[in-house]
A and B are shown apart, each in its own frame.
Chain A
Amino acid sequence: MLAVLVRKDLLIEFRSREILISMITFGAAITLLYAFSFRPSPESMQTFAPGLMWMVFLFVSVLALHRSHSLEKEFDAFSMILSAPVERSVLFISKYLSGFIFLVVAQMVLLPLFFLFLQLPLPANLAQMVAVFLLVDLGISAAGSLLSGIVMRVRVNEMLLPLMLFPMVTPLLISAVKSTASIMDNQPFNQWKLWFQLIVSFVIVFSLIGYLIYDYVSEE
């Protein structure tokens, strides 16, 4: 069932191309804005870059999370899914995974642009960078899918989602910025282990919360 639901989200996106195009366009526009607004030395740019980078990805993720749920509302397809014999926890995981996939695909396009336009050197340890990015994406997607499920039936949900999501993911984002900065600075893992552990904990906690309570929050 999980595969059916994730494939459905991907097929809808493949047909409409609404989510990825808006994510990439918006992300590229902010990246360009950063590139032309800041003209610091390469050293200071490397200090600011992780924060700017995660700010872009946080804004971009909101677009994906909101659109993914608002599509369910358009012809009230969400009621159809809720009334079908589909476990709500599986529905949460499907939204969580499809949100994660959209974010990863958008980052695959936006990250090279970010490094190129802000003239950043590639980190020496790419594997660590990829691991941190994937984990943070999982965390944003877990918290975002849960919140989108909660606010999707509220009239001003497009405003409510970022209002609730940004404070909620602040610990995750701080950890992401610190970890990314450490990786770009070639610091040994032991020095930023704590931030990495915080990211892992956030992912576990929000994935579990979503899995356990989506049944209740999805009903009107």
Chain B
Amino acid sequence: MLSIQNVNKQFGYRPVLRDVSLKIKDGEFLGLVGPNGSGKSTLLRIVVRVVSCDGGSISWNGNSILNAGADQRRPLLYLGHEPGFYPPLSAAENLHLIAKLYGLEPSPADVEKNLSEVGLDPARSGPIRQFSRGMLQRLALAKALTIPWELLLLDEPTTGLDKQGKSMLSQLIETWRKDDRSLLLVSHDEEWLSSHCDRIVQLSNGRIQRSEVDGTKSVQTELVEEA
């Protein structure tokens, strides 16, 4: 279970997150919505320690993530808004490199299979600098197939994806649901989020404003005590 307690973050004098508290249970799919600049991406980046936080605590299964070693981040996989790859390397080389960072040694066949699964040509050996936004997004999803994770943090995963890409993403999400893994999804597309998430939380001005349980079934309009 991921537990976020009273997290605060300021960029300069501008507060981005104010006392944000959230819990994601094992197997739960949580959607995070909110207007631009509401702190959604920052929250995700704080969870995986790309961004430092000014106060509060974050733990995974009771173990603090913020003050622990790198191994504590192993169950978490972050797919950010930016692709997170090396442009001069090929898709397969990027996947292989990232797997190695997680202590894995995938066979070329495994990498090829994952690339094919997201609709990328495994035989394509050119640098990913030439990839379109949608292809990079597909490559990011191949990363989620290559690395074993318990909580996946996805920031705007539909960006750049065409109709088939979105449908492939939906299928992958449903497959992950069966594996009892947890998901934290950030998107502007509330309708798309409602169709995949058990609960939707709205961030506005760095505060949690609204939480919907089981899609649109129950709506609480005031600040929700998540802890």
Contacts and interface: CB of A to CB of B under 8 A. Distances in A.
Interface in B86-141: 86-89, 93, 97-98, 100-103, 127-128, 136
B50 A220 contact: yes
Q: How large is the interface on B (under 10, 10 to 19, 20 to 34, 35 or more residues)?
A: 20 to 34
Interface stretch (B20-28, B72-80, B188-196, B210-218): B72-80
A79 interface: yes
A85 B127 contact: no
Given A4-B97, A88-B70, A83 B48 contact: yes
B83 A85 contact: no
B224 interface: no
Interface in A1-32: 1, 4, 8, 11-12, 15-16
A15 B48 contact: no
B70 A219 contact: no
Contact of B89 (A12, A81, A86, A88): A12
B88 A16 contact: yes
Interface size bracket, A side: 20 to 34
Contact of B52 (A81, A83, A87, A219): A219
Interface string B50-80: 1110000000000000000111111011101
Interface string A77-103: 101111111111000000000000000
Interface of A: 1, 4, 8, 11-12, 15-16, 71, 74-77, 79-88, 216, 219-220
Interface of B: 45, 48-52, 69-74, 76-78, 80, 82-89, 93, 97-98, 100-103, 127-128, 136
19 contacts: A12-B86, A15-B88, A74-B86, A75-B136, A76-B82, A79-B80, A80-B78, A80-B84, A80-B98, A82-B48, A82-B50, A83-B49, A83-B80, A84-B73, A85-B71, A85-B103, A86-B70, A219-B50, A220-B45
